[in-house]
Chains A and B, each alone.
Chain A
């Protein structure tokens, strides 16, 4: 049975768009490639806007033990507190956060760096992976 539609339903929908926009930025093969109108709409960077609120909150919740970097764990936590749609939102949000912690910023930097910075930003992906994995590992070990 379809769960009741509420504010979390809209949040889940926005999270899907934000995930698609994140994937577009994260996959080098898609960088700068012309997409069709529908794909362009679905992956538009404007969908990332709610992440300014959502992503910082998600990481803050992870640090305070109210969410986990492991998406299924967050889904369960959110579903218990706020219902099915909240669980789905939490799951997608954590996938997005993990991507932004581990990979996406370095891809954004590599794609948009000015010519004089291209050499320097080549080192960013490895650094990004190490930083993100370290944060996630520390969260899982010390907070759970």
Chain B
């Protein structure tokens, strides 16, 4: 693959991104209108905080995508002798592969503490509305790359793979809302919907680490992580260690700070590595300071 190919890939992502910007503008404007109709202010404080984090998407993520993702994928694709042709019959295979990659990249973002520190930024919003789309995370291209490398080494063309994969966040633009009720059961089972993606954003024990799918739920069914929303368990949106701040910097550092503290405090290297690569909530942890009035005190051990 040559420079022209990379330019073509970058241009395609740009064109797709332009289109996405129009639909994002639509849902955000609609959110403002609906909030007004519901007697609320146009933007919540949390929504404004998400807005402040939005440049992380187009700027930081864009830089990572261009530099690390495309460059990295191209490098590994060229190393592989395997090639999967791009024809009408292979496109569904590409789509399923991209969904598979999205599922695992997303699952890593939840189940590896280092990556969760990054991905939790998106999940820290406690209001599940269209402004959650703005709450971008800066480093996801890194763990996305880890998942995609083996797939391009199998011969999947990175251009098609990347284009298929960016459909997931594009589709989810329409899913971050509580205003849409239950859709047809088969649709809820097969596709990502506002309701089953709401499960993914909830921190109730039954809903945590469920529904990782991008556009389809099939890989969640395959790997046993699908959970339908239950009428008797209303979702509580947000994360298990609530943020209690709308300061964008605090939003960004909310899970990184305890991660660094636990890494420093872990007595052995095995535990230090566990802090980085273990499952959130199951690694070595120092007591977290919690706000009580104006004083910071240590959270009692569970």
**Which residues of chain A have a CB within 8 Å of any CB of chain B?**
7, 10, 45-46, 49, 52-53, 55-61, 63-64, 66, 101, 105, 109, 112-115, 117, 119-124, 127-128, 131, 135
Given the complex, which residues of A lie within 8 Å of B183, measured CB to CB? 112
Q: Is the CB of A121 within 8 A of B170?
A: no
Residues from 66 to 101 in B contacting A, C-beta threshold 8 Å? 87-88
Asked if B167 and A120 sit within 8 Å, CB to CB, the answer is no
Assess whether B26 is in contact with A57, with CB atoms less than 8 Å apart.
Answer: no
Q: Other CB < 8 Å A-B pairs besides A52-B170, A121-B179, 15 of them?
A: A53-B167, A56-B20, A60-B17, A60-B19, A63-B19, A101-B22, A105-B174, A112-B180, A112-B181, A114-B180, A115-B181, A117-B34, A119-B37, A120-B37, A123-B37
Interface of B is mostly: helix
Residues from chain A with a CB closer than 8 A to the CB of B48 are none
Q: Which residues of B contact A59 (CB under 8 A)?
A: 18-19, 22-23
Q: How far is the CA of A61 from the CA of B29 in the complex (A)?
A: 22
Interface residues of B (CB under 8 A from A): 14-20, 22-23, 26, 29-30, 33-34, 37-38, 87-88, 163-164, 167, 170-171, 174, 178-181, 183, 187, 190, 215
Separation in Å of the B106 CB from the closest CB of chain A?
17
The 5 A-B pairs of least Cβ separation, nearest first, read A56-B19, A60-B15, A59-B19, A60-B19, A114-B181
Closest beta carbon of chain B to A40's beta carbon, Å? 11
User: For chains A and B in complex, what number of residue pairs have CB atoms within 8 angstroms?
Assistant: 90
Which chain B residues border A128 with CB–CB below 8 Å? 30
Contact between B19 and A113, CB atoms less than 8 A apart = no
Are A113 and B179 in contact (CB-based, < 8 A)?
A: yes
| A60 x B38 contact (CB < 8 A) | no
Contact B18 A64 (CB under 8 A): yes
> What residue in chain B is nearest A10 (Cβ atoms)?
B88
A60 vs B171: C-alpha distance when bound (angstroms): 15
**Which of A7, A57, A120 meets B179, CB within 8 Å?**
A120
Using Cβ atoms and an 8 Å threshold, which residues of chain A touch B16?
A: 53, 56-57, 60
Judging by beta carbons under 8 Å apart, are A53 and B164 in contact?
A: yes
- Output the least CB separation between A49 and chain B (Å): 7
Evaluate whether A53 and B163 lie within 8 angstroms (CB atoms) in the complex, with A109-B179, A119-B37, A120-B179 already known: yes
- Interchain CB contact under 8 A, A123 and B15: no
Which residue of B18, B26, B163, B180 contacts A63 across the interface (Cβ within 8 Å)? Answer: B18
Shortest A41–chain B CB gap in Å is 13
